[in-house]
Amino acid sequence: MPFWSVQEHAFTLLDRQRLTRVAEYMVNEVSCDEIAFEWEHIDSMARRFKQHLRPLLRAIDLSATRVNAPIQEAIHFLKAAFQKDHSLHQIASGDFPTDFVPVREKRYLYQRNETGQKPIIPDRYEFLVYRLVRHRLEAGDLFCRDSVHFRSFEDDLVDDQQWANKEVLLATTISLAASIYSIL
């Protein structure tokens, strides 16, 4: 349908000036909370991400560069709940560790109920943990010793006992490099 046809039909519903004012209002005044819209979409995908990501979280051993990293507490909380086959919906809202939750995300993790309280939305909490795990892995704040890409830098270093024999290590490395160079 050509635009002029749509425009003509619109002018039969509202006169040109009023339609212009409505359009300007929508452009300048009406705001859409895109983040709330994103969370609503995540709500609709909860079954899928639980099915695919929960088994991964249960199986992967993650460590943090800081021993007391708040995200680690959330990971351990979820793992413990999943290993006991507890539904997150059955856990009291106050038992969820939330120190890791960014301030900008807090308003989307809670929903006022009929008694006026604001309990946590478990599916959103779980998804936020998964999202932040990904971000922290990419930033190097979390690591997985069984991974090639997300290993800790310290895991790639030679330990102190081996480094005590650094002259032997260097000589071996040099001779190995010379052998490879001669083959090429």
**78: which 2 tokens?**
């979820």
Write out the chain's pLDDT in tens, 184 residues: 888 888 888 888 878 888 788 888 878 877 778 888 899 999 999 999 999 999 999 988 888 777 668 899 999 999 999 999 889 999 999 999 999 999 999 999 998 888 888 999 999 999 999 999 999 888 888 887 665 455 545 555 567 777 787 788 788 888 888 888 888 6
pTM (whole model) above 0.75: no
**171: which 2 tokens?**
């000589």
**98: which 2 tokens?**
């939330």
Q: How far is CA 64 from CA 14, 29, 84, 102, in A?
A: 60, 44, 24, 18
Distance between CA atoms of residues 160 and 33, nearest Å: 53
User: Across the strands, what pairs with 142?
Assistant: 64
What are the φ and ψ backbone dihedral angles of 110, each rounded to 5 degrees?
-120, 150
Report whether 74 contacts 129 (CB < 8 A).
yes
**47: which 2 tokens?**
């079954």
